[in-house]
Amino acid sequence: MRLSDLFVPTCTQMLGALSVWLAKALAQMSDKDAEALLSARLAPDMFPLSTQIRFACVQAQEAVSRLKGEAFPESLEELLNEGRNAAERPGSIADAQARIGETIELLDGLDPAQVDRDPERPIAHELPTGMVFDLTAKQYVRDWMLPQFYFHLMTAYAILRSEGVDLGKADYVAHMFAYLRPDTMPAE
């Protein structure tokens, strides 16, 4: 399986779901309450929803740059800084939707050949703490990028649920309905 086949549809589908969750929050709450969600956290030492959204987008965008062997674009650095500073400046739901849309647009416009050239090529992944992980491109996608992406995505989902947004598992895996065998949906 090509790396692009693994992470691009996954990120596109799940970021699309995240966008729907935010739209549902806006539909179910007053604008003020929905905007307040961006500062909500699962625990005091965890990042708020606004950061979780941005960091999910960061994981997808960072993977594109790393796998293409390119330096991070300024827009990715800005997104990282937004995420790091979101506790003080959470932005708005519209801002979050824009970041999701920009990330999906990047993924949709990606030429798979740009990221699939060598799944065994080395990637040195350095964290802000100074820790460095030496991985192959394949290991980076499988063992870092996708788990990190899902961590931030699932944390965003959990924050929304814990704050009273009416979401269910079908909202989390909405993309699966494309594969539903006809006439197998249970009657309500």
Look at residue 34 and tell me if it is in a domain. Answer: yes
Residue 147: pLDDT over 90: yes
Look at residue 188 and tell me if it is in a domain. Answer: no
Residue 86: pLDDT over 90: no
Q: Domain range spanning residue 145? A: 3-179
Look at residue 187 and tell me if it is in a domain. Answer: no
Look at residue 186 and tell me if it is in a domain. Answer: no
Q: Tens digits of per-residue pLDDT, 150-161? A: 999 999 999 999
Does 89 or 155 have the greater pLDDT score?
155
Residue 162: pLDDT over 80: yes
Kindly report whether the global pTM for this prediction surpasses the value 0.85.
Answer: yes
Look at residue 168 and tell me if it is in a domain. Answer: yes
Question: Of 29-43, 69-83, 114-128, 153-167, where does the model show the most confidence?
Answer: 153-167
Task: Provide the CATH number for the domain around residue 46.
Answer: 1.20.120.450
Any idea what the Cα angle at residue 142 is, between residues 132 and 178, rounded to 5°? 145
| CA distance linking residue 27 with residue 63, whole number of Å | 32
In this prediction, residues 120-134 reach a mean pLDDT of 94
- With H, G, I as helix, E, B as strand and everything else as coil, classify residue 123: strand
What is the reported pLDDT for 118?
Answer: 92
What is the reported pLDDT for 54?
Answer: 96
Residue 188: pLDDT over 80: no
Contacts of 172 (CB under 8 A, 6+ apart): 17, 157
Residue 99: pLDDT over 80: yes
Mean pLDDT of all residues belonging to the chain: 94
